[in-house]
C-alpha cells in the first residue's frame, strides 16, 4: 500500500491540527498509527475518522505514567514503535510578569517534558526493532524570540537543544532524529480560533515534510528543517 507498510508510528496530539495532518499522511503510506489526545473520546473519534489500522489513546504527555502506559499499549497492540512524532504542544503568550506559574508549567511540561518522556519510552522499543525515526515538531519560535513569547520560546529553544543532543546520541543505534521548525500554520493553536489567512502553511504542508524525511535514504540525516509561508502579509 505504501512505503510505511508494517511500520508503527506514534503521533502525540494527533487528533487535530498539524498532528492530524501527519497522522493522515502516515496512514496513507501504510503505517499503523497510534494517535493521542488528552481525552479518550477525542483520540478514539479521530482514529475512527482516519480509519484503517489507526488506534486512539488518551495521554496527557505532561504525566510520565500516562506516557509509560501509552507505549505499553502500543507494544501490546502493534509490537513496538518505529516512528515517533512529538507534536503535542501548547502556546500561552503574555508578559513574564503576568504569566502565572501554572501557565509556565503547562507550556514547559507539555512542549519539553512531554517530549523527553515519549523519547524515554520509545527509544528502547526502537532499539529492539533495529532503529527508528523521531520527529520533533518545534517552531521558528525555537530560534526567533519575541515579546510575550518567553514561555513558548523557552520551550522550543529547549526542544531544539534536546533534539540535537539526542540526534548525536542515538544515530549509531539506527535512530534518526529531526526537528521541524514551521512558521505560521492554520490551526486552532494558541488561545482562540485561528485567524490566519490562506497565506499560512497548512497541516498537510507540514505532513509532506515529515513524509519526505521518512523517505530520505537511511544514510542521510536532515536534522533541522525550517519552513515558513512563502507569502505572509507584508509588514
Ligand atoms: N500552528 C502554528 O502556527 C504552529 C507553528 C509552529 C509550530 N507549531 C507546533 O505544532 C504543534 C501542533 O500545534 P497545532 O498548531 O496543531 O496546535 P493545535 O491545533 O492546538 O493542536 C494541539 C495538539 O496538541 C495536543 N495537546 C496539547 N496539550 C497536550 C498535552 N498536555 N498532552 C497531550 N496532548 C496535548 C492537543 O490535544 P487535545 O485535543 O487533547 O487538546 C492537540 O492534539 C505544537 O507543538 C506547536 O507548538 C504550531
Domain at 30, CATH number:
3.40.50.720
Residue nearest to atom 42 of ligand 1 (CA): 13
Within-domain flag for 233? no
Sorted by sequence, the CB contacts under 8 Å of residue 148 that are 6+ apart come out as 93, 94, 95
Residue 217 lies in a domain: yes
User: In the structure grid, which three cell numbers stand for residue 215, read together?
Assistant: 523517505
Tens digit of each residue's pLDDT (9 = 90 or more) over 122-174: 999 999 999 999 999 999 999 999 999 999 999 999 999 999 999 999 999 99
Identify the domain containing residue 106 by its residue range: 8-226
Residue 1 counted as domain residue = no
> Which residue, chain included where needed, has cell 473519534?
45
Residue 119 included in any domain: yes
- What confidence tens digit (pLDDT) does each residue in 74-103 have? 999 999 999 999 999 999 999 999 999 999
Residue 84, domain member (yes or no): yes
Residue 193 has pLDDT above 70, yes or no: no
Ligand 1 pocket check: which of 10, 11, 13, 91 to mutate, most ligand atoms within 8 Å of Cβ? 13
Residue 231 lies in a domain: no
Mean pLDDT of the chain: 96
Name residue 177's beta-bridge partners. Answer: 134
Q: What is the pLDDT of residue 165?
A: 98
Grid coordinates given for 227? 519552513
Calpha distance 18→150 (Å, rounded): 22
Q: Which atom of ligand 1 is nearest to the CA of 106?
A: 31
Residue 200 lies inside a defined structural domain of this protein: yes
Cβ(171)–Cβ(178) below 8 Å? no
Q: Is the pLDDT of residue 7 over 60?
A: yes
Residue 67 included in any domain: yes
* Count of structural domains, the chain: 1
What is the secondary structure of 70-115 as a DSSP string?
HHHHHHHHHSS-SEEEE-------S-GGGS-HHHHHHHHIIIIIHH
pLDDT at 54 over 80: yes
Amino acid at each position: 500500500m505504501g512505503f510505511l507498510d508494517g511500520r508503527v508510528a506514534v503521533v502525540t496530539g494527533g487528533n487535530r491540527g498539524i498532528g492530524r495532518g501527519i497522522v493522515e499522511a502516515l496512514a496513507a503510506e501504510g503505517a499503523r498509527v497510534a494517535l493521542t489526545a488528552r481525552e479518550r473520546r477525542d483520540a478514539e473519534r479521530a482514529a475512527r475518522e482516519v480509519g484503517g489500522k489507526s488506534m486512539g489513546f488518551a495521554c496527557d504527555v505532561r504525566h510520565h505514567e500516562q506516557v509509560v502506559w501509552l507505549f505499553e499499549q502500543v507494544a501490546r497492540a502493534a509490537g513496538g514503535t518505529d516512528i515517533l512524532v512529538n507534536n503535542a504542544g501548547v502556546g500561552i503568550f503574555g508578559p513574564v510578569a503576568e504569566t502565572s506559574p501554572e501557565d509556565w508549567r503547562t507550556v514547559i511540561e507539555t512542549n519539553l517534558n512531554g517530549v523527553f518522556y515519549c523519547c524515554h519510552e520509545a527509544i528502547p522499543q526502537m532499539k529492539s526493532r533495529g532503529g527508528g525515526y523521531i520527529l520533533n515538531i518545534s517552531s521558528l519560535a525555537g530560534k526567533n524570540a519575541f515579546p510575550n513569547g518567553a514561555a513558548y520560546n523557552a520551550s522550543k529553544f529547549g526542544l531544539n537543544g534536546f533534539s540535537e543532543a539526542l540526534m548525536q546520541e542515538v544515530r549509531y543505534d539506527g535512530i534518526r532524529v529531526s526537528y521541524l521548525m514551521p512558521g505560521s500554520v492554520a490551526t486552532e493553536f494558541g488561545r482562540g480560533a485561528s485567524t490566519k489567512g490562506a497565506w499560512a502553511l497548512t497541516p498537510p504542508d507540514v505532513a509532506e515534510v515529515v513524509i519526505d524525511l521518512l523517505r530520505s535514504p537511511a544514510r542521510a540525516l536532515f536534522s533541522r528543517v525550517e519552513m515558513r509561508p512563502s507569502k505572509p502579509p507584508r509588514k
